[in-house]
Structure 1
Amino acid sequence: MKASASIKFLHYSPKKLRELGKAIVGLAPSDAIDRLSVLSNKGGKLLSSAVKSAVSNHTNNLKQDKSSLRIKAVEILKGPNFKRWQPVSRGMAHQIKKRTTHIIIKLEEAKKSLPEKQEERSKNGTKD
């Protein structure tokens, strides 16, 4: 079964969050939260809260155990920009874009890996 969580309109740049999102794909949620809690920036706290939300969605809505979960995907999407103006010299103004972000985290149950069968080969390692 799959579970997901989304947090929208975060006041944080998507460019800064994408690197963190790539680092936690494929991890168990507890490992991802541990890694993100060590970081000193705001993005780690935002992503860890999204992971916690996805895990609680899985346990409450699907009534399943959270021990065998893996993070399948982390989507960091661009939200709307807030436009502000900064006065500069000679009566002009420059535009400031305050960017927002949408985070979508998808969880799935980890598949138990079975050992693959190795095909029989001849002595020199080629298939006949």
Structure 2
Amino acid sequence: MEVKSTTKYVRLSPKKARDVAREIQGLPVSSALDILTFTPKKAAFHINKTLKTAIADAENNFSLSAESLIVKEAVIGAGPVLKRFSPRAKGSAGGILKRTSHIFITLAEAPEGEAKPKRVNVSKKAENKA
């Protein structure tokens, strides 16, 4: 069973939020919460809030235990852009794009027969050796 949670119109650039979202994909929920709690970025706060909402939905609406859940997907989509102008030299104006994000998190039950999946760190050195 999959549980989905969404937060829309977050006043944060999607490019900055995607870095944080990539860190928690495929991890058990407890590990993902730990990583988000100690990540010093604005995106971590909003993704943590969305993840906690998804966990609460799974427990209350679908009677799933939080220990058996993994983060299947953490996707950051682009929301609408607020366009503003800033005065520049010689009477011209420079554009400012204030971007927004939509956060989508999907939780799934971990397969019972397998161990909990771990994040795989692939370095460039390991790729070159293969």
Q: TM-score range by the shorter chain?
A: 0.7 to 0.9
Looking at structure 2, the residues matched to 114 and 105 of structure 1 have their Cα atoms a distance apart, in angstroms, of 22
Q: Map 1:81-96 onto structure 2 (within 5 A).
A: 81-96=81-96
* Per-residue CA distance 1:29-80 (angstroms, 9 max, x = gap): 1211111111111111111111101101111111222210000001110001
Q: CA RMSD in A?
A: 1.3
Looking at structure 2, the residues matched to 74 and 114 of structure 1 have their Cα atoms a distance apart, in angstroms, of 22
Match of 1:112 in 2: 112
What is the letter of the counterpart of residue 67 of structure 1? E
Looking at structure 1, the residues matched to 34 and 47 of structure 2 have their Cα atoms a distance apart, in angstroms, of 11
Decide which moves more: 6-15 or 31-40.
31-40
TM-score normalised to structure 2 length: 0.84
State the 1:113 CA deviation.
Answer: 3.0
What is the letter of the counterpart of residue 32 of structure 2? A
Match of 1:21 in 2: 21
Decide which moves more: 41-50 or 102-111.
41-50
Count matched residues: 115
State the percentage of identical aligned residues.
35
Gaps (5+ residues) in structure 1? 116-128
TM-score normalised to structure 1 length: 0.85
Look up the SS of the partner of 1:67 in the other structure. helix
Where do 4+ consecutive residues of structure 1 move more than 6 Å?
none
Q: Which has the higher helix share?
A: 2
Gaps (5+ residues) in structure 2? 116-130
